[in-house]
């Protein structure tokens, strides 16, 4: 149990660090606008990677790595609590259209990213 908790913690630290660095990179590339592009980027990429890992783990017998990869690494990398906060911030600022667009894109593209990850990994590991 302690080993599993340590793996989750290590994965979470790595995932959170990667989320921060991705956010910095997105801000440097596109600037700081009103739309939370960095957050949506990590959510879509994280969803894609989750889809890839689910298939790779099943095909390659790596399900024992799920606590590290899925709970820790990808859980630390994706940002749905930040997503909720960004949505409420847009709503409170009166940007209802941007809030609705942000929710639709975040959910739609993240589910799409996961589906693309599943398809990609299934074609690679088939």
Number of other CB atoms surrounding residue 3 within 10 Å? 8
pLDDT in tens, 44-72: 999 999 999 999 999 999 999 999 999 99
What's the rounded Cα separation, in Å, for the pair 124 and 126?
6
> With 90 as the cut, is the pLDDT of residue 81 above it?
no
87 has binding-site annotation: no
Question: How open is the CA angle 44-72-26, to the nearest 5 degrees?
Answer: 35
33 has binding-site annotation: no
pTM beyond 0.85: the answer is no
> With 90 as the cut, is the pLDDT of residue 1 above it?
no
Classify residue 107 as exposed, middle or buried by CB count within 10 Å of its CB (0-12, 13-18, 19+): middle
Q: What does the domain layout of the chain look like in residue ranges?
A: 2-125
* Radius of gyration from C-alpha coordinates of the chain: 16
* Residue position matching structure tokens 């949505």: 87
């Amino acid at each position: 149990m302690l080993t599993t908790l340590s793996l989750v913690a290590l994965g979470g630290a790595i995932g959170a660090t990667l989320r921060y660095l991705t956010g910095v990179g997105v801000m440097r590339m596109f600037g700081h606008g009103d739309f939370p592009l960095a957050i949506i980027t990590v959510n879509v990429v994280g969803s894609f990677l989750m889809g890839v890992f689910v298939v790779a783990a099943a095909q390659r017998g790596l399900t024992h790595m799920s606590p590290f990869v899925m709970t820790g690494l990808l859980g630390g990398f994706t940002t749905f609590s930040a997503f909720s906060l960004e949505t409420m911030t847009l709503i409170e600022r009166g940007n209802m259209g941007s809030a609705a667009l942000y929710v639709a894109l975040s959910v739609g593209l993240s589910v799409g990213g996961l589906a693309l990850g599943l398809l990609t990994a299934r074609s690679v590991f088939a």
